[in-house]
Amino acid sequence: MRVSSRSPHGLSRRSLLTLATAAVTATGPAASTAVAAPAAIGGERLARTKVQVSGATGLLGRLTARAWLLADWETGHVLAAYRAHQPLAPASTLKMLFADTVLRKFHRAERHTVTEAELADIPMGSSLVGIRPGTTYTVEQLWQGVFLRSGNDAVHVLAHMNGGVAKTVAEMQARAQDLQALDTHVVSPDGFDHPGQLSSAYDLTLIARHGLRNADFRGYCGTHAVDFPAGRSRTFQIQNTDRLLTGAWGLKAYHGLIGVKNGYTSDAGNTFTGAAVRGGRTLLATVLNPAAGSNAVYEETAALLDWGFGQGGSARPVGTLVEPLSEGGKKADADAPPVRQAAPAAAGPPGAAADTSPSAWRLLEGAGGTVALLAGGVWVLRRRRAAAAASGGRHRR
């Protein structure tokens, strides 16, 4: 598991300084040492390499992730963080930025017949939902393929509908700049491993916070299972691969979880941004590349959320998630003095000031999951086996 050694174009000076700092420190929380850190988006403490927490105790020391962050959705307060701005490969968590960029462009009932050309540029070894050329899908079904199965085939179809992969990548980068997610450098819309494709725990949490203000985004990331077209009027069931949402692979569904997105690639390891609601509070946690085990990213996310809903209730902010520039956010330049106060946020649960009713959010709050079995067609299985063989075991979801 590695981070590209290349310094990609578009990284801010703050990101490059953070990379330099990280290169001379140990990767584990216990081995970190205090170093002088540059000013960072959201507050200078978020650029430090040790665990940042104030006014609360009991934060688990056994977290092994290379970077993580816990924040309050409504206020934007960062309650605790570790290497929040360290640029790392994001895997499919980058699909949150893809959705935040493209989701509003097409009505969910719009229908689209997929062509061979739209599937031609999918990276070998990609996760697939099973899109078939010549089959007609609704936009809603394509987004279900993106969020539930992390299907790169669905991503590429939507990107082509949006004018092409290159145009979509440029728009995603522009969206990241507007959100002030300045650690993020987009190379592909699906999050697959590419040199220079980077994000951070801070940026992914920032992106998730904004995405959750949209009713469709919330609805898709909180969906447990749906029937998906297999062609010729047939369907098969797809289940959300977010194990904390559905309960799978030895994990219980996390009480109050409402999404958001998981991922895995060879470079990124396991990555996850999750959001949960309890007692009227919504917390966001991002965990990037824990030491070992496919369940570790979920277990460490659950531990952060548990702490946030418990002892973390008395935590004083160590930083803030800034607001988008296009929505009145103050530009948080990396060379400017650190931001110390959260920007105003809409009252109520996620999206209350956006395009949904409170009742729609309550349907998502606290939802448990029943494990649904995935039944794929022969075409999907053959394609996945061929992709896995060609990639030599390198894959993503």
Secondary structure of residue 257 in the 3-state scheme: strand
Written in H, E and C, the secondary structure of the chain is: CCCCCCCCCCCCHHHHHHHHHHHCCCCCHHHCCCCCCCCCCCCHHHHCCCCEECCCCCCCCCCCCCEEEEEECCCCEEEEEECCCCCECCHHHHHHHHHHHHHHHCCCCCEEECCCHHHCCCCCCCCCCCCCCCCEEEHHHHHHHHHHHCCHHHHHHHHHHCCCHHHHHHHHHHHHHHHCCCCCECCCCCCCCCCCCEECHHHHHHHHHHHCCCHHHHHHHCCCEEEEEEECCEEEEEECCCHHHHCCCCCCCCCCEEEEEEEEECCCEEEEEEEEEECCEEEEEEEECCCCCCCHHHHHHHHHHHHHHCHHHHCCCCEECCCCHHHCCCCCCCCCCCCCCCCCCCCCCCCCCCCCCHHHHHHHCCCCCCCCCCCCCHHHHHHHHHHHHHHCCCCCC
User: Which residue is associated with the tokens 């992969």?
Assistant: 165
User: Which residue is associated with the tokens 């008395």?
Assistant: 314
Taking the C-alpha atoms of residue 14 and residue 32, their distance in angstroms, rounded to an integer, is 19
Catalytic residue positions, numbered: 92, 95, 150
Sign (positive or negative) of CA dihedral 366, 371, 376, 382: positive
User: Which residue is associated with the tokens 């659950």?
Assistant: 302
CB neighbourhood size of 397 (10 A): 18
> Are the C-beta atoms of residues 93 and 191 closer than 8 Å to each other?
yes
